[in-house]
Amino acid sequence: MPPEPLVWQIATVSAIRGETERASSFTLSLPAWRPHRAGQHYDVRLTAADGYQAQRSYSIASPPAHTGVVDLTIERIPDGEVSPYFHDVLEVGDLVEVRGPIGGYFVWEPALGGPLLLVAGGSGVVPLMAMIRQRAAAGDTTPTTLLYSARDVDDLIYRDELDALAGDGLRVLPTLTRAHPPGWTGYARRVDEPMLAEVLAALGPDPLVYACGPTLLVETVAAGLVNLGVPPDRVRTERFGPSN
Ligand SMILES: Cc1cc2nc3c(=O)[nH]c(=O)nc-3n(C[C@H](O)[C@H](O)[C@H](O)COP(=O)(O)OP(=O)(O)OC[C@H]3O[C@@H](n4cnc5c(N)ncnc54)[C@H](O)[C@@H]3O)c2cc1C
């Protein structure tokens, strides 16, 4: 039987949680919820009183086991059309039009195995977090490294949860590009090929890679890994926005 076509539905905002100064998670209750795969996204459509519409994609942060709801984690882009609406206008109980889940390529589930290298820039961590949450919920021990680029330590989305989940084969390696606290021993620069080489060496051969974030980061990661001998068909990418 062919899958039912995706339709727009009206979700209710059932919770809002601040993650960092610039990012918040929005729990949406969906009347026509469908199971999703970690890495998929929803489309959001806003309609103004004059009929003008703006549509954007947002990755699902919650694991597939959370039925009836999805969490979207949205970074506020100051001069944006849609993300400031979520941060500045939407309140718990408000309605928002969405369609999903969408995407079949940038997805992971434990059956796909690893070792897994997840590389995130900024809010690019969102679909990777769904994978990490699913891995944890399933009790899966696939060796997994998250290399996560953020401006500073306070800009690391899901920091406490990642700290708590680390171990059991999960390594979390933040790299801070603008500022780092005194005594910081982690990476403190943009992701580059030598950094990828170090991370790969510790992870073992033939990793499955998911890279997500600004275009420049994703392109650096994809090109760097292929230079380092990772087969291109093991590298999956998702670009979130302009090259910054
Ligand atoms: C498959 C997919 C999944 C996505 N998932 C997420 C997610 O989980 N969380 C999330 O926060 N975003 C996500 N995005 C990005 C999101 O769709 C929007 O592009 C983003 O929220 C900006 O929309 P806006 O309407 O606020 O800004 P716009 O009105 O589109 O842009 C305003 C200005 O900001 C610039 N800009 C646009 N996007 C960015 C950016 N990411 N960083 C810096 N500057 C930008 C634009 O070039 C423009 O100058 C995803 C994108 C894709 C394609």
Residue-wise pLDDT for 60-82, tens only, equals: 999 988 899 999 999 999 999 99
Ligand 1 closest atom vs CA 126: 8
Q: What is the pLDDT at residue 241?
A: 78
End-to-end Cα separation, the chain, in angstroms:
43
What pairing do the DSSP bridges indicate for beta strands 170-176 and 235-241?
unpaired
At 221, the pLDDT band (50, 70, 90 cuts) reads: very high
Mutate to test the pocket of ligand 1, among 20, 56, 73, 125 (most ligand atoms within 8 A of CB): 56
Residue 244: pLDDT over 70: no
Q: Report the side by side order of strands in the sheet with 208-214.
A: 170-176, 144-150, 116-121, 208-214, 235-241
Residue 180: pLDDT over 70: yes
What SS3 class is residue 147?
Answer: strand
Q: What is the pLDDT at residue 168?
A: 87
Could you say which of 1.10.1060.10, 3.30.70.20, 3.40.50.80, 3.40.50.2000 is the CATH number of the domain covering 110-241?
3.40.50.80
Q: What is the pLDDT at residue 172?
A: 98
Pocket of ligand 1 (CB under 6 A): 41, 56-59, 73-75, 77, 79-83, 123, 126, 238, 240-242, 244
Ligand 1 closest atom vs CA 60: 8
Could you say which of 2.40.30.10, 3.40.50.620, 3.40.50.700, 3.40.50.800 is the CATH number of the domain covering 9-102?
2.40.30.10
Residues 6+ positions from 196 with CB-CB distance below 8 Å:
119, 147, 221, 224, 225, 228
Ligand 1 closest atom vs CA 238: 1
State pLDDT tens for residues 22-56. Answer: 999 999 999 999 999 999 999 999 999 999 999 99
What is the reported pTM? Answer: 0.96
Which token pair is 213? 């974030």
- Residues listed for the chain: 244
